[in-house]
Amino acid sequence: MSDFSALKAALAAAAPDLEIRENEPMSRHTSFRIGGPAALMALPGTEEEAAAAVQIARKLDCPVVLMGNGTNLLVADEGISALVVKTADRWNAIEATGEQELTVQCGALLSRAAKAAWEKGWTGLEFAQGIPGTLGGAVTMNAGAYDGEMAQVVASVRHLEPDGTVVETPAEELDFGYRHSRFSGGGSLILSARLKLRPGDRDAIEAKMEEFRRRRTEKQPLEWPSAGSMFKRPPGHFAGGLIDQCGLRGFTVGGAQVSEKHAGFVINRGGATCRDVLTLVREVQRIVKERTGVDLQMEVRTIGCEPVES
């Protein structure tokens, strides 16, 4: 069993300005509003603090969970026996660092990055305007929408390796795929990314962003806590369409519900637990497989509980 009191003492000694919280409810840090306490949570303000936190935890053989804004996470009701390193609260700088190039820290909201590109008259990030997450999470899962994805704009990523070293890796070595990158396993902490964009017309960029914003507001249940799309898009299909076809729109387990507005979303109607969500997901997967022959795979990252496969 990990000695988190020893870890806390070691972190305080090595990085006295590092904010550390004990038994921090993860429900406060996920868009699902679900999750029990993390044994320890560190909120580093600098790369040095993040590196120290990871290095010390590894040295003391304590598990480490790296997270951004928590918009794609489902955390166990029992909590996490680990050090959670969260960067989204403080690392949110966005700056122009080259010709049609933005350098964005991992905690910056993707919507802010899209706005910064628009202000410069640079195109390529319009698809990201309404994605509710941070740069770090978006790169990790190669987030995308409306025929755009992060792989199209990322030039390189600066990241913290499991041993605490800082590395910058070019895009061609990041193993981007559908909702996947080399960071998907959670072993590395993204610090920032260079985004390469193109010159464009500000009015046209704004119009496209406004259109994407309108579509999201009309079609997605943004008024409820959720983790966005629950399932990956099956080849040749739309997950929401298959779920709807099977009559599962509005299907409910405890406080978790297949959204009546968009069947690809699972929402927290109030008091939903991780167990509620996973039970619902298993049943949706079973019924869709029986009736359509299609396997649905979760897109949401699970922590402290087993991922669900059909």
89-129 tens-digit pLDDT: 778 899 999 899 999 998 898 889 999 999 999 999 999 88
Q: Is 275 a catalytic residue?
A: no
Tell me the percentage of the chain whose pLDDT exceeds 90: 65
pLDDT confidence of residue 216: 81
Annotated active-site residue in 179, 188, 192, 259: 179
pLDDT at 1 > cutoff 70:
no
Annotated active-site residue in 194, 229, 259, 301: 229
Average of pLDDT values for 214-243? 90
Each domain of the chain, given as residue ranges in start order, spans: 4-86, 94-204, 223-303
- Whether 223-303 and 4-86 are alike in CATH topology: the answer is no
Q: How confident is the model at residue 309 (pLDDT cuts 50, 70, 90)?
A: very low
Distance CA 117, CA 195 (A): 10
pLDDT confidence of residue 306: 65
pLDDT at 307 > cutoff 60:
no
CATH architecture of 4-86: 2-Layer Sandwich (3.30)
Q: Which CATH class is domain 94-204?
A: alpha beta
Least confident of 76-85, 95-104, 155-164, 240-249: 155-164
Annotated active-site residue in 24, 49, 126, 299: 299
Q: How confident is the model at residue 301 (pLDDT cuts 50, 70, 90)?
A: confident
Q: Is 223 a catalytic residue?
A: no
Average of pLDDT values for 154-174? 90
Q: Is 216 a catalytic residue?
A: no
pLDDT confidence of residue 101: 96
Q: Which CATH class is domain 223-303?
A: alpha beta
pLDDT confidence of residue 144: 82
Average of pLDDT values for 41-50? 89
Select the more confidently predicted residue: 130 or 104: 104
Average of pLDDT values for 55-78? 89
